[in-house]
Structure 1
Amino acid sequence: MAVYAIWNNKGGVGKSYLTFQIASEYARTHRDQRVLVIDLCPQANSSSMILGGIVEGENRIEELSSQNPPKTISGYVNDRIVSPYVDTHSGANFVTHAHPLNNMVPDNLYLVCGDEELEMQASRIQLACSAGPNNAWQIVHTWIRNLIDDVRASWNQQNITVFIDCNPSFTVYTELAISAADRLIIPFSADGSSKRAVKSLLSLVYGIQRRPGQPQSQFFRNTQQFRMALPQIYSYVGNRLTQMNNSSASAFKNVVLEIFNEVFRVYQANPGLFAIHPNGAPAPINRTTFRIMFEEQVNDANTASVVSGALGIPICRLTAGVKTFAGRSSRVNQSQLDRQQPNIQNFVAKIE
């Protein structure tokens, strides 16, 4: 039971979709636990899916955002901006029980809803980092960790599992998410830009230099100055991958291999950056054992993937047949479900 950030320094790799699927499946298979999703992306896509999809979910986000104060991540951030250096202990006030709003998700799934206002709050968060006491940056970067502690106290449960959906841009609210996480899940897609994004992520968060003399990010330098723990890499996940024919399958394998080589090089030089799992397992000693522990692949379920997100029905609960959303009908085939459901189930079974 830990805090997982789902992030890659690239849009379009399915961070929100993956957050929705793994959080829902984790909650379904851990009914004795409460599971929390924190949506720290202004697009609020994971919130939309958790709350019912592109129609109902969007309406519910609007309802939560319209409350006074907003029952969203922006409501909490505004609370902290007013009191940037003294913990308000108000985080539990911004948690929404998802199941009463979308009965397709498990009844032990909870959400701190995303909010587009987060984008407009970024400059005020940055100002709070530079004003105030000498350790202002450090204090501000514990806001989301404080929120999680508030929820733990409210639930009277210290060991909870949290999934944080991050914005692709490495802006200050992404830094807050990374600072709160124990472990990092890195989604990627089968294209060349994903490899560059993974390299960028390793540099921004962990200070891994791709060439001699490359400057390190201010975030990394500050975490070192304040002796702040960084999340350990838990897995890198090829998300909604498609292999259409022999040619595209070969290209897909090449991209996955390139990303594997990049991450494995970092492991060889900095094994402490990686979370060995499951608990008590021996550390990987070669390429094969590393890949088994850290690499995951989630196949694209095509129409089923789209319908799952659009209706807010987790893929592992979705059934075959004709589904209607936004005035349109689409057919979900069992073969599509068979491509992705086992991937999600197997991946979630490995999450501690």
Structure 2
Amino acid sequence: MLELQSNAISTLANNQIPGTNTWVAIINWLNDFIQPIEKDYDMVFLDANPSFSMYTQIAIATSTKMVLPVMADDSSRRAIQNAFSLVYGLKLPSEIYSKYAFAEKLKEVDMPLPKVYMILKNRLTQYMGAASAYATVLQEIDKDVLSLLKTYTDMFAFKTLDMGIIDVRDFQTTGVVSAARGCPLRKLKSGRLGLMGKRVMVREEYRQNCIDNVETIVTRMSKEL
């Protein structure tokens, strides 16, 4: 359904209507929805699709800060690089694309881009030690981000890697059970729990690790409120 809607949205955004910038009108849909109620909330989270479809662009244009999750694989490294190309117009394959870049379109109508607020190294496990291949990939991601941070400081909401990158352990079974049961991690009990007709073990140590990870992220965000 979302992909069908995306096609319709893209078609609307590309319509040529005299005196109307249809792309801007569409890109502001969420802004128009949130502005009347923004004083009722401290923070609004927009969960965007990894693809750079029209509805992802709407979410990014509405945001002031952006959280980028990465995992210990080359696809995540490429995804980070692609994010900076697609969102900020960096390292485009040709100048021809600059005119049509997302960043350039927002610049033309004086709309700001969100700053990279946090990079989450997601789904880390005990097997990703310093000597592992996983660690090597994560270190390369650090190098890529550091290089961008030094060159394009204004695109980031943090000044050092330690301030912006957070390690997040893999929630594994605990996260699956919590999500499937619709039960917050703090209220989730440890031990064997029923899930879709089966008994699943949730270890207290793992549950507490999940809570600690969430609290680290929330604490970092709360400093800005």
**TM-score (normalised: structure 2):** 0.88
CA distance in 2, matches of 1:250, 1:189: 14
Would you say the 8 A contact 2:128–2:135 is kept in 1? no
Matches within 5 A, 1:324-343: 324-343=194-213
CA distance in 2, matches of 1:331, 1:214: 55
In the alignment, structure 1 residue 124 sits paired with structure 2 residue 2:
no
Partner of 1:255: 137
Query: CA offset at residue 317 of structure 1?
Result: 3.3
Partner of 1:233: 116
Gaps of 5+ in 1: 1-116, 277-283, 285-289
Query: CA offset at residue 212 of structure 1?
Result: 7.2
Q: Secondary structure at the match of 1:178?
A: helix
1:130-162 deviations in Å (ceiling 9; x for gaps) = 22244221121110111111333xxxx355310
In the alignment, structure 1 residue 297 sits paired with structure 2 residue 167:
yes
CA distance in 1, matches of 2:9, 2:63: 19
1:91-120 deviations in Å (ceiling 9; x for gaps) = xxxxxxxxxxxxxxxxxxxxxxxxxx3321
Partner of 1:110: none
Higher RCO (CA-CA < 8 Å; seq separation 6+): 1
Query: CA offset at residue 257 of structure 1?
Result: 1.3
Q: Secondary structure at the match of 1:350?
A: helix
RMSD across aligned positions (CA): 2.1
The change in CA–CA distance for 1:265 and 1:142 in structure 2 (over 3 A counts) is same
- Identity among equivalent pairs (%): 31
Partner of 2:215: 345
Q: Secondary structure at the match of 1:298?
A: strand
Matches within 5 A, 1:137-156: 137-152=23-38
CA distance in 1, matches of 2:132, 2:207: 24
CA distance in 1, matches of 2:82, 2:132: 25
1:251-280 deviations in Å (ceiling 9; x for gaps) = 23212211111111111111111114xxxx
Q: Secondary structure at the match of 1:329?
A: strand
Q: Secondary structure at the match of 2:69?
A: strand
Query: CA offset at residue 292 of structure 1?
Result: 1.4
CA distance in 2, matches of 1:184, 1:235: 7
Matches within 5 A, 1:118-197: 118-131=2-15, 132=17, 133-152=19-38, 157=39, 160-197=42-79
Paired amino acid for 1:120 = L
1:148-205 deviations in Å (ceiling 9; x for gaps) = 11333xxxx3553100011111100000000000000000111111000100001000
Partner of 1:222: 105
Would you say the 8 A contact 1:243–1:252 is kept in 2? no
Q: How many residue pairs end up in the alignment? A: 219
- Higher helix proportion (structure 1 or 2): 2
Query: CA offset at residue 213 of structure 1?
Result: 5.2
Partner of 1:18: none
Q: Secondary structure at the match of 1:318?
A: coil
